[in-house]
Amino acid sequence: MLAHIFRRIVATIPVMAIVALFVFSLLYIAPGDPAAVIAGEQASPEDVEKIRKGLGLDRPFVSRFGEWSWHILQADLGTSMFTGLPVTQLIVQRLEPTLSLMVVTLILSITIAVPMGVIAAWKAGTWVDRGLMAFAVLGFSVPVFVVGYVLAYVFALELDWFPVQGYTPLSAGFWPWLENLVLPAIALGCVYIALIARITRASMLEVLQQDYIRTARSKGMGQSGILFVHALKNAAVPIVTVIGIGVALLIGGAVVTESVFAIPGLGRLTIDAIVRRDYPVIQGIVLLFSLVYVLVNLAVDVIYTLLDPRIRY
Amino acid sequence: MPLLEINDLQTHFRTPDGVNRAVDGVSFQMGEGETLAVVGESGCGKSVTANSILRLIPEPPGKIAGSIRFRGVDLLKLSDKEMRRVRGNDISMIFQEPMTSLNPVLTVGRQLGETLRLHQRVSRREADARAVEMLRLVGIPEAKRRLGEYPHQLSGGMRQRVMIAIALSCRPKLLIADEPTTALDVTIQAQILDLMKDLKAKVGAAIILITHDLGIVAEVAERVMVMYAGRKVEEAPVEKLFRTPRHPYTQGLFGAVPKLGSSLAGNLTKLAEIPGVVPSLKQRICGCVFATRCASATDLCRQSAPALELKAPGHLAACHFAPKEALAA
């Protein structure tokens, strides 16, 4: 078991190396000249050339990639072309709001979606099932920003239950922190909830047909025990898979959600960096998100072995 | 009072193309500690009868009617909660497929202890101790180690032993075994049957044994009920049924049993098969249900359904032409 986890961790190294190479190449693939951007519209070709040299853009690809990688391993992601601040510092400053939003969304979505899917499967074919699945389709089809504005209008402006926008750091207290995250988390979670609920339903429907469910019933086990112990643990592998894959949805959605709710997180930093062609910042963010995604999928793999004793690598 | 008294049991399933009368008016009784075998072809309603007793039929599309009295109480009238107290405690069940009847992601100990903890007030530790005891009782070596193992680590025979241990852990009054040996090797079959006989003596449970293997019937049953197309067509003590089967369907079943070594002895007669298939249970059958496949069916058979009649002491058969013994007055 431990050996398996260790092997999986080691296997993430080449994955991250390939990601790093790709991220680095972005600079070459992407149109536009960063030196020209920095120099501004009125700069002469000599000025641009000078800046290019200063950035080291004239040196060969391999040597620059080597140097860049070496710095990354020391948590040095370079310097922002625009603000002149270290990228690592910029990211760390913006990390907490985004991480908070994602974690709250993840927990909220799972606690809503999994019971929703389980109940839909149990009541398959009835109006309860149809109602829940119609809700899921709705969650899937309405874009994040629409849901976000509707939620903010109803629950913040009209009912005044939650703040309209902004972010309070966790250090200011748990409730103020959570209060600010509820609406963004629901808005961001909609698609995710719909996805998890549908997969849970489908997986549960299959499991509920199995012989061991009949065995559990023949022992005198109650409905909730059958659903949440005997069935859910068997149905869990596809559910965990989709939760892992869905983290990519969250990363993309966080960017939009942060602008709707004016949360000063990585999403805003990303948009600003892209608009300004601030390559070191873009590279740092993409690298970070890739790392998160790789780590989530590593966690998913480890959870598989905990859920199903038949899975051994 | 009989242990189990079933009256006019009807289990019907609503399907898109009509009602499937899987069990259609079956009645029988069982005494304490008795072993009753239920035999018949696939699709004749044996398993549905068994599942109906524990109300394991999904409703809808299924619908169970009639009465199932267990120690005087009609199980069909119990609430879901009361029924859960009966399942696994007073009446328990073993299924045909040991490979799939155990939950693959829960340990053997968990699945065994769970039944105890559902019905009796025992601590987790006591449940574990009882689980070890039960595993020893069903002849599983290294019982303690097995508690932490998962079903996929056990062989088919071992898994069926675990199923038996689970079924008997609360000392039920009635054990329903739905083809418990069909999926096992012949040698393992014999072991499981011996185990069941042995445990029956120890625990004192009555057994309903559902099977299509007449060899097993002769081995363990006291009484036999023959089902065809959702109905009971014959019922008799085992020796009587084997000596003088009275219903043509039962006779057909005996004819279809291969005799070990018969072809080696130069006796190359073909096995007597019963022509045709079980009729569709979606249409009302007028006349005898077996008439379409019966060699000696007459117009009478095709027009009027024969009632179950006492043909000899303790011997019921539903056939117009079954020979009737002079019943002692």
User: Which of B186, B176, B160, B241 has its CA nearest to residue B34?
Assistant: B176
Does residue B190 surpass a pLDDT of 60?
yes
User: Which of A308, A242, A214, A285 has its CA nearest to residue A19?
Assistant: A285
Best residue in A126, A208, A212 to probe B by mutation, most B CBs within 10 Å? Answer: A212
**Residue B52: closest C-alpha in chain A:** A218
Does residue A52 surpass a pLDDT of 80?
no
Q: Do A212 and B115 touch (CB under 8 A)?
A: no
Write down the pLDDT at residue B329. Answer: 46
Residues of chain B with Cβ-Cβ distance to A310 below 8 Å are 104, 150, 152
CB of B103 within 8 Å of a chain A CB? The answer is yes
Residues of chain A with Cβ-Cβ distance to B166 below 8 Å are 215, 219
**Residue A305: closest C-alpha in chain B:** B105
Does residue B134 surpass a pLDDT of 80?
yes
Does residue B63 surpass a pLDDT of 90?
no
Does residue A40 surpass a pLDDT of 80?
no
Among A156-160, B46-50, B84-88, the minimum mean pLDDT is found in: A156-160
Residue A212 amino acid letter: Y
Helix, coil or strand: residue A83: coil
ipTM given for this complex: 0.82
User: Which of A219, A89, A35 has its CA nearest to residue B165?
Assistant: A219
- Give the pLDDT band (50/70/90) at residue A48: confident
Q: Stretch B97-102: mean pLDDT, rounded?
A: 85
Question: Residue A270: which residues within 8 A CB-CB, separation 6 or more?
Answer: A255, A282, A285
Give the rounded percent of residues in chain A with a pLDDT score beyond 70.
95
* Token pair of B257 as six digits: 């049993």
Among A222-226, B74-78, B126-130, B300-304, the minimum mean pLDDT is found in: B300-304
Does residue A267 surpass a pLDDT of 50?
yes
- Give the pLDDT band (50/70/90) at residue B268: low
Does residue B39 surpass a pLDDT of 70?
yes
- Give the pLDDT band (50/70/90) at residue B184: confident
Write down the pLDDT at residue B265. Answer: 63
CATH class of this structure's domain A95-307: mainly alpha
Q: Which one is predicted more confidently, A190 or B304? A: A190
* CB nearest A217 (choices: B56, B100, B150): B56
User: Which of B25, B40, B41 has its CA nearest to residue B231?
Assistant: B25
Write down the pLDDT at residue A117. Answer: 92
Q: Do B92 and A234 touch (CB under 8 A)?
A: no
Q: Do A211 and B100 touch (CB under 8 A)?
A: yes
Q: Are B40 and B46 in contact (CB under 8 A)?
A: yes
Q: Do A219 and B114 touch (CB under 8 A)?
A: yes
Write down the pLDDT at residue A196. Answer: 92
Listed by start position, the domains of chain A span 2-73, 95-307
Residue A92 amino acid letter: V
Best residue in A206, A210, A214, A215 to probe B by mutation, most B CBs within 10 Å? Answer: A215
- From the CA of A296, how many Å to the nearest CA of chain B? 23
Q: Stretch B131-143: mean pLDDT, rounded?
A: 84
Alpha carbon dihedral A218, A222, A228, A229, in 10-degree steps, equals: -50
Q: Using one digit for the tens of pLDDT, what is the confidence trace for A72-130?
A: 888 787 777 778 888 888 888 888 888 889 999 999 999 999 999 999 999 888 889 89
Does residue A197 surpass a pLDDT of 90?
yes
Distance of CA B135 to the CA centre of its chain: 24
Write down the pLDDT at residue B261. Answer: 67
Question: Residue A24: which residues within 8 A CB-CB, separation 6 or more?
Answer: A64, A65, A68, A69, A283
**Residue A237: closest C-alpha in chain B:** B105
As a whole number of angstroms, the distance between CA B216 and CA A46 comes to: 99
Using a cut of 0.90, tell me whether the model's pTM lies above it: no
The side-by-side arrangement of strands in the sheet containing B315-317 is: B91-94, B174-178, B206-211, B35-39, B223-228, B231-237, B315-317, B309-312
As a whole number of angstroms, the distance between CA B4 and CA B205 comes to: 12
Q: Do A309 and B88 touch (CB under 8 A)?
A: no
- From the CA of A307, how many Å to the nearest CA of chain B? 7
CB of B164 within 8 Å of a chain A CB? The answer is no
Q: Do B150 and A309 touch (CB under 8 A)?
A: yes
